[in-house]
Amino acid sequence: AQSVSQHNHHVILSEAASLELGCNYSYGGTVNLFWYVQYPGQHLQLLLKYFSGDPLVKGIKGFEAEFIKSKFSFNLRKPSVQWSDTAEYFCAVTRGGNNDMRFGAGTRLTVKP
């Protein structure tokens, strides 16, 4: 079945550590890729998106992601995490001209001060 996979269920890091969260998808054709973040008690917020062009995408709060088409991957990175980055992170995919977003299971990030 076509899906979006996030490899890590729960990641625990200390402040200033580097972060990489994996995301793979299994859809063919044109895809649009997103990372959303959900802070405790808050709504989903967009971190970054990829539609086309430069496969290295920079988002808010120092996050970036790289689209590697050959690997069907869109991994999220941040060089130095802060305690305030503690949240749940979701990778999502839409296909072609559709808006039906397919989400990964999410990765819970805990940053220890």
Taking the complex as a whole, the smallest distance from the CB of residue 104 to another protein amounts, in Å, to: 8
Structure tokens at 56: 């290295």
Taking the complex as a whole, the smallest distance from the CB of residue 97 to another protein amounts, in Å, to: 5
Q: Give 5 or 17: the residue with its C-beta nearer to another protein.
A: 5
Q: Give 52 or 113: the residue with its C-beta nearer to another protein.
A: 52
Separation of alpha carbons 27 and 82, rounded Å:
33
Question: Which amino acid, 78?
Answer: K
CA dihedral over 90, 96, 98, 100, signed as positive or negative: negative
Separation of alpha carbons 67 and 25, rounded Å:
11
Indicate the Cα dihedral angle 4, 23, 93, 85, nearest 10°: 120
Taking the complex as a whole, the smallest distance from the CB of residue 3 to another protein amounts, in Å, to: 11
Taking the complex as a whole, the smallest distance from the CB of residue 15 to another protein amounts, in Å, to: 28
Note the residues at the interface with another protein (CB under 8 A). 32, 34, 36, 42-46, 49, 51, 90, 92, 94, 96-106
Q: Give 45 or 84: the residue with its C-beta nearer to another protein.
A: 45
Q: Give 2 or 110: the residue with its C-beta nearer to another protein.
A: 2
Closest by Cα among 69, 25, 63 to 46: 63
